[in-house]
Structure 1
């Protein structure tokens, strides 16, 4: 039986106000009756990089158990699907704070209606941290990407960063290098699975607080993610770790432009707080 005939599947795209932009996510508001294999089957049928499933709900307390599945596997945390789920709930139950219990821990999300009448959500990540990448990890990744060490920006050293999941952060020296992404899908997926990295976050710095990002996601069966909230949180923590955040700072990450699905992620980082806030809109899209 087709999964969509038994489960109501909402579809939202996150980190945009344009249905043609952002990162699409499936949202299942009542998945308490679904076993793990059914959730994976639904995620595979939906075909987006992630589908979010609410498996338990305490509506008076606005607290929910939330799980995430890519078409291939469960993922501990997904930022864009969290934003999409929060907006879907706020549209049905009113704006305010929501609490999600995830495999990555408790994630709080504030929702509010903006001046245009759209719901904007701000998630507070799990505590972030990062470490320098090891030479063998870097060499294997660069080989799979078909990049050279000379392609990297020396002012932003490669790190493995955590914001709910682990992500390898690599900074390109030029926008042209970032735009030219033609990697070995299987080889990169093997490297990432060996090190438990969810995405490789490729970034290019445009200004003091402005960055462009691309996120290959082969462990999830996805060539590239057009907006990656968990990686954005990890990146904010990474910048704090390497000393680039001196005071409370708001970053803007532009992602998805090279895919034709532009996304905007707003990232707030405080040098004294290991948690990072990632904000954006989400809008419904047709199947």
Structure 2
């Protein structure tokens, strides 16, 4: 932006909670067409949330209610962010009504449906094509060392994997809720490993039941100790659960996140037979 161009309004929304005090807060800039990379990074850093979303003109050919979107943490741009997508979709729907949106992200095209429900609006994104790959044993050992987790504290029925549904995440499953609750990790050591493996977060999981999981997401590469509710990681976990045969082809999973941070949120992960993409939905609310 030039010095004569006013700074676009920065909105604040939380995603995956109807309460502004729950879920994961995100910055939302609905008109970022005049901003360059440095402008976006400065806004994200100044706001301090794990991510801020910036809407830009869409690529040609996407049709109506389509937007370009970019996501910045306080440190860097990321290819995709689920909670900022939900926050942005709800912010748009408050102004133009619910319905179908199309967002062109660096990771690919992401459709989002916003619906009205009792108590507010709900947004459901559909991920890009996911994949799941083996995690190298030495990399898992380094992650555990950085987390200060003994290998014996892992759930043997949920093996470590790297999963992608717009961004890469290392999935590690704790054997107990107490292990998940005790998060005190080596920030720099985990950040170094994550940069080497091109990871956005580490998805820490505890399985309460076949369809309910509690999750936490260290995010040192974004300059944030922990992400309170992580839609991209939820989508990746849906792909992981399907790949490992933990759920049927048609399944709905509930992920509970943020409880250990005092910002409880709920993410709904939907899998459909015949469609490898993963749907992640949740409520949202404006902050302030």
TM range, normalised to the smaller chain? over 0.9
SS class of match (2:277): coil
Matched, 1:163 2:165: yes
Per the alignment, residue 47 of structure 2 pairs with 46
Give the Cα separation in 2 of the matches to 1:246 and 1:112. Answer: 26
Q: TM-score if structure 2 supplies the norm length? A: 0.96
Q: Number of residue pairs matched?
A: 284
C-alpha deviations, 1:126-163, integer Å up to 9, x for none?
A: 11111121111101101100011101000000000001
Measured in 2, the distance between the counterparts of 1:132 and 1:101 equals 29
2:57 is paired with a residue of what secondary structure? strand
Partner of 2:149: 147
Match for residue 186 of structure 1? 188
Which segments of structure 1 move beyond 4 Å, counting only runs of 4 or more? Answer: 57-60
Quick check: 1:240–1:271 contact (8 Å CA) kept in 2?
no
Residue of structure 2 aligned with 1:71, choices 46, 71, 74: 74
Residue 257 of structure 2: aligned partner: 255
Alignment match, 2:102:
99
Contact 2:44/2:74 (<8 A) preserved: yes
Aligned to 1:137: 139
Q: CA deviation at 1:212?
A: 0.1
C-alpha distance in 2 between matches for 1:110 and 1:15: 15
SS of the aligned residue for 2:42 comes to helix
Shifted more, 262-271 versus 67-76: the winner is 262-271
Correspondence for 2:235: 233
Query: How far, CA to CA, are the matches of 1:196 and 1:60 in structure 2?
Result: 32
Unaligned runs of 5+ in 2: none
Aligned match of 1:172: 174
Gaps of at least 5 residues in structure 1 are none
Question: How far off is 1:60 after superposition?
Answer: 7.4
